[in-house]
Every structure is written in structure tokens, then in C-alpha cells.
Amino acid sequence: MRFLPACAAICLAAASGGVCAAQDIYIHAPAAVTAGDEAKLSTSGSGKATFYLSGPGVSRKTDISLGEEIPLRAQDLRVAGRYLAVACSSTCRSTTFYVSAAQPETLAFLVHPSRVPVAQSDAVSGVALPFDQFHNLVLTPLNVNFQLTAGNASLLSRAAPTRDGIAWFRSSSGRAAGTLQVTASLDNVPVLRAVQEVASDPCNLRINGQRTPAGISVQTEPVHDCAGNAVPDGTIVTFTATDAGGKSTVDAPIKHGIARAEIESSSATVITAASGVVMGNELRLGAQR
């Protein structure tokens, strides 16, 4: 640390026997300050001086009397970080101190995704960050309890220590469609997030159909995923018909659990259905009489 001539101790004409105008100033900061607390700096010396406080969110200049304590207001020490205190009369002296976060009061909790297929491994994750009332990140280790609940079933209950102010988890999704409650709690202050669990890809896709005067009417049985959850309406099922004239396809959305399609064909026809990567059974219909 160096001090510039403007503030340096200046002995006026000291070499020629003049009076040294410099004053010994000493300024001392407390070892530890917590955000939002008042603090005091001690000084030595005598006479008037100018005091500067510079830190995150604050820049203050006041007149002080050397030898007296300098009170620091709580409102000036709300942001955690490094503060610089400078006292200047004929010379400047400085000290620094750190303000640390206060007790945790809130928890920032990020959960992904908002919608997830059931029975997916490592599909749900969450990150929790504890903050004090002044929004400083609390860096001292704390235990955050994560809980995942689907209906009445508990999928996960784990205490994770924060490291550098962060705790996190990753978990598989449940087996039943519905709302997954994800909770992070710190000192019994819970923060709740909801993840919508939806059916996964269709499983055992089965179709049936019959001839109609216009062609062929084909439909799926109620479409479920492998865990038995109804696949959501709007999911597309692709029907493929192959007859003497060639191949034709039609996409049909699932409505009330079933996808339906009308296919124009009078000759012998083979119909298959697929949704995503899942293939259904093969339906063979003879030529129209």
C-alpha cells in the first residue's frame, strides 16, 4: 500500500528546523463484521480529519475527530464484501475489513424441468442457494433438506450440505403421472416447487379396425406408457396402410386416450401404427366385397 504525496505525511521545512506538520493517525477496524450490524472503528491522533468509507453499495465522507471512535451505521454495512476506511488530515491512513453475510433467511431454489416424463433416470434436478435478509450469499456450510413427493409417496429425502453457498440434488422421476412436489428447506423454512410428471412414450400400442363403406376405420386401444399412465391427448400416432396401390400414411392425435383414422382403400390392406419410437401390432384386412 502506498500513499500519494497529496496525503503523505509532510514535514514542512523540517530539514531547516521547521515544525513537522505531520500527525500520526492510526485507524483500526474490527476483525469481523456481520452484514446489517453496526460497527466502530477506532482512531488515534488528535485534531480534525476527514473520514471516507468505500464499500459495496456505500461511499461516504464525513468529518471526524481523531482519537475518537468512528461509528459505522448498520445501513452502510448491509452488503457483504470488502470495505475500505480512510482517515485523512495532513496524512492519510487506511484500513480494510470484510463484512460477512448474516444468518440465512431465504432460499433461492431452481428446479428443472417443469414437465418431465415418468420413470426417467436423473431427470429432475434442483439447486438451492441460501441468502440472508440483505440478499448476500451465505457461504458458511449449511444443511439443505431436499424432498421429492409424488402423491403420498416419497421419492427422495436427503440432506445436502452447501458448498460455497450451493447445495444441489439430481433424481429420477416417479412412476405415476401427476404433480411432483419438490421441497428444499433450511431451518424449517420450506421452499416449494412443482414439476408436472407426464406419461412417457406409449407402450404396447395396439390397433383394431374394420371396413366401412368409405374404406377402413382404424383406431388404437387406449394408449398407455409402460408404467400404465395414460399418454396425454394430442400425442401423435401415425397409421401406415400398405395395399396394392402402394403405401399411405396418416397422422392422428390421441383424443380421450384413443387415436382414430379413416383410410381409403378397397383392396387387401396391411395397417400398422407407430408413436415415437414404438411400433404397434399389424392389422390385415381383406379386399372389400
Partner 1 sequence: MNRMLNSLARGRCFVRAGMLFATLFAFALCSYGADSDVQVELNSKQAGPRTVESLTEAGIIRDYRFAWTSMARALEINTFDPLEGCFAGQAKDWLKQTVASQQRSGISQRYLDQNHRLEAVFYAPEGDVMELHDTAEYQVQVIEGGRVIHDEHVVLHYVVLMTPGADRWVIRQLQAVPQF
CB atoms < 10 A from the CB of 9, how many? 16
Nearest alpha-carbon partner for 51 in 11, 95, 81 = 95
Q: Which of residues 254-273 bind partner 1 (CB under 8 A)?
A: none
Q: Which range, of 19-27, 56-64, 65-73, 207-215, touches partner 1 by CB under 8 A?
A: 56-64
Interaction pattern, residues 59-98, with partner 1; x per rule: CB under 8 A:
xxx-----------------xxxx-x-x-x---x-x---x
* Smallest distance, partner 1 to C-beta of residue 70, A: 15
- Grid cell of 194 as nine digits: 412443482
Nearest alpha-carbon partner for 72 in 27, 117, 122, 15 = 27
Nearest alpha-carbon partner for 139 in 180, 89, 104 = 104
Contacting partner 1 (CB under 8 A), which of 110, 153, 192, 270? 110
Residue 58 as a binder of partner 1 (CB under 8 A): the answer is yes
Q: Which range, of 16-24, 132-140, 145-153, 238-246, touches partner 1 by CB under 8 A?
A: 132-140
CB atoms < 10 A from the CB of 68, how many? 14
- Grid cell of 24 as nine digits: 500520526
* Smallest distance, partner 1 to C-beta of residue 175, A: 22
Q: Which of residues 139-178 bind partner 1 (CB under 8 A)?
A: 139, 163-166, 168, 170
Residue 137 as a binder of partner 1 (CB under 8 A): the answer is yes
CB atoms < 10 A from the CB of 193, how many? 16
Residue 182 as a binder of partner 1 (CB under 8 A): the answer is no
- Grid cell of 267 as nine digits: 383392396
- DSSP assignment letter at 14: G
* Smallest distance, partner 1 to C-beta of residue 13, A: 23
- Grid cell of 166 as nine digits: 450451493
Q: Which of residues 198-257 bind partner 1 (CB under 8 A)?
A: none
Measure the N-to-C terminal CA separation of the chain; round to a whole number of Å: 102
Find the largest Cα–Cα distance for the chain.
130
State which residue, 99 or 186, has the beta carbon closest to partner 1.
Answer: 99
Task: Report the SS3 class of residue 285.
Answer: strand
State which residue, 54 or 248, has the beta carbon closest to partner 1.
Answer: 54
* Positions that interact with partner 1 (CB under 8 A): 1-4, 6-7, 52, 54, 56-61, 79-82, 84, 86, 88, 92, 94, 98, 100-101, 110, 112-113, 125, 127, 129, 135-137, 139, 163-166, 168, 170
